[in-house]
Amino acid sequence: MSYLSSLPDDAKLMDVFRLYPETSRPLLDFHEILMRGPSPFSAAERELIAAYVSGVNACDYCHGVHTVTAEVCGIIQGAVPAALDDLDAAPVGDKMRPVLRYAAKLTRGPASVTRADAEEVLAAGWDERALHYAVMVCALFNFMNRMVEGHGIKAGPDYFAESGERLSKVGYAGLNQLLDE
């Protein structure tokens, strides 16, 4: 149930974006650069990080949408919830485990992250640019989780499927275009 009386009770994030385009357009531009632009991580891996961080934060909306998006982009179905349950046993690549471990630690206790945590990511074969992208995706989705929860935005599996499919096809630039509809 949306906490903004100007929105319907069943408002979705696009409703907030349309209500406040002046803050939403630059945010979606940033999403497009970070999540779909050139990166050491594939779009699927970035969506995996987004879904995982959202799961750590218990943000059902972002976790649901980005889990579907990650899967449509190529992440093994069920990998995100499995990673949240037991990262070491989850069907994610060994190279991604330290990235997700880093993102979880950064999400749960930012001040607890150490050089040793960063070195674990680097030792897995990622470079500093990859570490930067992991940090940025983690930071963006911590922000988005708080934005969604703060506005009271909720949805269920049908919406997650629809939104995840749409996001995988049109990207974040496409969402920006939807603000005009």
Please report the beta strands in the chain, taking only residues with DSSP state E, as ranges in sequence order.
Answer: none
Comparison of pLDDT for 181 and 17, the residue scoring more: 17
Res 1: pLDDT: 81
CA atoms of 159 and 138, how far apart (whole Å): 23
Is the pTM higher than 0.85? yes
Core vs surface per residue 154-179: b (16+ CB within 10 A) or e: bbeeebbeebbebbbeebbeebbeee
pLDDT in tens, 131-175: 999 999 999 999 999 999 999 999 999 999 999 999 999 999 999
* Residue 13 pLDDT > 90: yes
- pLDDT tens for residues 72-128? 999 999 999 999 999 999 999 999 999 999 999 999 999 999 999 999 999 999 999
Range 41-171: architecture per CATH: Up-down Bundle (1.20)
**Rounded to a whole number, what is the distance in angstroms from the first to the last CA of the chain?**
23
21-47 pLDDT, tens digit each: 999 999 999 999 999 999 999 999 999
Distance in angstroms (rounded) separating the CA atoms of residues 83 and 79: 6
Mention every residue, 6+ apart, whose C-beta is less than 8 A from residue 172.
28, 29, 31, 32, 35, 36
> Taking 80 as the threshold, does the pLDDT of residue 130 lie above it?
yes
- Its sign, for the CA torsion 49, 76, 28, 61, is negative
Q: CB neighbours (10 Å) of residue 127? A: 11
Domain ranges of the chain: 41-171
Residue 39: phi and psi, rounded to 5, are -165, 155
Q: Which residues have CB under 8 Å from 167's CB, separation 6+?
A: 65, 69, 174, 175
The pLDDT score that the predictor gives to residue 108 is 98
